[in-house]
Structure formats: C-alpha cells, structure tokens
Amino acid sequence: MSWSPAGKIAVVTGASSGIGHATAGRLAGAGMQVVAVARREDRLAELAATSDRIVVHAADVSDTAQVDALAAFVEGEFGACHALINNAGVGGGAFNGRDDLDDALRTIDVNLLGTIRCAAAFADLLGRSAPSRMVNVASVAGKLGIGPAAYAASKFGMVGFSEALGLSWASRGVTVTQLNPGFIETEGFPQKHMKGGPQERLLGTPEDVAEAILGALVSGTPERTVPRFYRSFVALRHLAPPLYRAVAARMGRASGSRD
C-alpha cells in the first residue's frame, strides 16, 4: 500500500548537518511536518529558518531522559508520529586496544543504543499513528566488516535490530526499514581518501540519501541501499566469501581505519 507523506509528522535525528539536514529539508518539501533533532542548537536554528514546516528540538540520543522528553514533546505538540528517522551517528576511530575503548563504547552508544532508545520512546506513538514508518540509517558497513571495528559493529547491530523489529512490529502497522548508505560525503565523513581518483565516482551525496529515505517512506520497503550499486558488494560478500575477503584485504580500510 502506498503511503503519502503530505500532512504527516516526521522526526529526524542527527538533523544539524549531512544526511539528517538534507532529509529534514526533503521531507518538509514533500509536505511533512518535520521535528528536526540534534545537539547543536545553533545549527538547528539555521535549519528551522529554511522552512515553516520544520520545528526543532535539541536532544542527545545517548541520553535516555532526553529521548523520552523528545517523544513527549512530539506527542504533546502534534499528537502523532508517522515517521521516525533514526539518523544520529558518529564515526569513531580505529580499535587497537585499551586506549580505544572509550571511543568504541561511545560509537556504539550513539549509533546503536541511540536508535534503540528512540525506538523504545516512540513505539507506542508510532503504533497509535499507524500506518507509520521507522527508517534506521545504518550503513553498507553494517553489511561489510571493513573499517573501524566499533563503527561496523554498531551498524551491523542496527541492521539486525531493524530486520527483527520489522518482523515483530508489522502487526502493529509499523514498517521498519534499514537504509544502508555507501560512501557519502558529509561534514562528519569528508571521504578525503576517495577524492581525486577512480574511487571518487563511488561517492554519494546527502541529498541522494534523503531522496532514498523519502522513497522508503512511500514504498515501505524493508531494506534500501544507496547508491544502489553498493548492493553488488553486499552480494559478493554472501555469494563468494573467499573472493570478497581477498578484495577486502587489499583495501586501505582493512587496517581498521577510515583511510
């Protein structure tokens, strides 16, 4: 069943820059009332000035009380939530030992546990607003274990959480999508290592992801990869594991870094 965005209420986390910023603008342009969420209030104020369909709410998804307060705000102001876009995330660095533990735990706390906190806080409201959507912005790194280990772990967790929740929440009228971007150039992920060479053609933009999120909301697909050609890498991982590992081992990111 198609789902029209016009007039519906959407919550977008991580909206102060990059994918979240582009998504808030795209959904507002499609006629949705958007609650844009992030920690940086100055950036949120700039975003709110771009559309009368965007209101802002400062919150840190690693703080359960702030996430609960966000859900209470949305219910109090709008009485519904038809779409929850869990996009807030951090990149994290290489994991080489004890000195990297705090960074790894922070990465998992924001990316994975932040998504779980938001899902928990909005569960009842999404159910009462059905048919509704939850889109979890994971990553191709949630399918291919290359790069910073904690980041990959957080995104693998998001993929599994999304798949399981999609099955269990279907009866409540809530569709859950795992949205898996490939290399996307943003403020937090400048992708400098891909510039100036043949790999640059693999880069996508925040606007590409925002369009894919809107498409996932309308179609209710359980899984979406953007840019779409990254699906071939995921297929290689499952259909020809030895070949995949041989190729992956030659990549710079096999060192566990973002280089």
| pLDDT band at 196; cut points 50, 70, 90 | very low
| pLDDT band at 201; cut points 50, 70, 90 | low
pLDDT of residue 250: 83
Phi, psi angle pair for 208, to nearest 5°? -60, -45
The verdict on residue 47 lying in a domain is: yes
Q: State the pTM of this model.
A: 0.91
CA angle 251, 256, 259 (to 5 degrees): 55
pLDDT of residue 227: 87
The answer to which of 65-69, 123-127, 143-147 has the lowest mean pLDDT is 143-147
pLDDT of residue 14: 97
Token digits of residue 134: 């939850």
N residues, the chain: 259
Among 82, 111, 137, 151, the active-site one is 151
pLDDT of residue 248: 78
Gap between the Cα atoms of 106 and 63, Å rounded: 12
The verdict on residue 73 lying in a domain is: yes
The verdict on residue 1 lying in a domain is: no
Q: What is the extent of the structural domain holding 122?
A: 9-255
How many CB atoms lie under 10 A from the CB of residue 55? 17
| pLDDT band at 181; cut points 50, 70, 90 | very high
Instruction: Determine contact, residues 21/47, Cβ cutoff 8 Å.
Output: yes
Phi, psi angle pair for 180, to nearest 5°? -115, 95
CATH number at residue 234: 3.40.50.720
Task: Indicate if 230 belongs to the active site.
Answer: no
pLDDT of residue 200: 45
* Mean of per-residue pLDDT scores for the chain: 91
Gap between the Cα atoms of 39 and 93, Å rounded: 21
**56 to each of 36, 48, 114, 170, how far by Cα in Å?**
5, 6, 18, 29
| pLDDT band at 112; cut points 50, 70, 90 | very high
The verdict on residue 2 lying in a domain is: no
The sheet that has 33-38: what strands, in order across it?
54-58, 33-38, 9-13, 83-86, 132-137, 174-181, 223-226
pLDDT of residue 230: 83
The verdict on residue 64 lying in a domain is: yes
pLDDT tens digits, residue range 39-96?
Answer: 999 999 999 999 999 999 999 999 999 999 999 999 999 999 999 999 999 999 999 9
| pLDDT band at 231; cut points 50, 70, 90 | confident
The verdict on residue 232 lying in a domain is: yes
Total of domains in the chain = 1
Instruction: Determine contact, residues 133/83, Cβ cutoff 8 Å.
Output: yes
The verdict on residue 4 lying in a domain is: no
Residue 22, pLDDT > 90, answer: yes
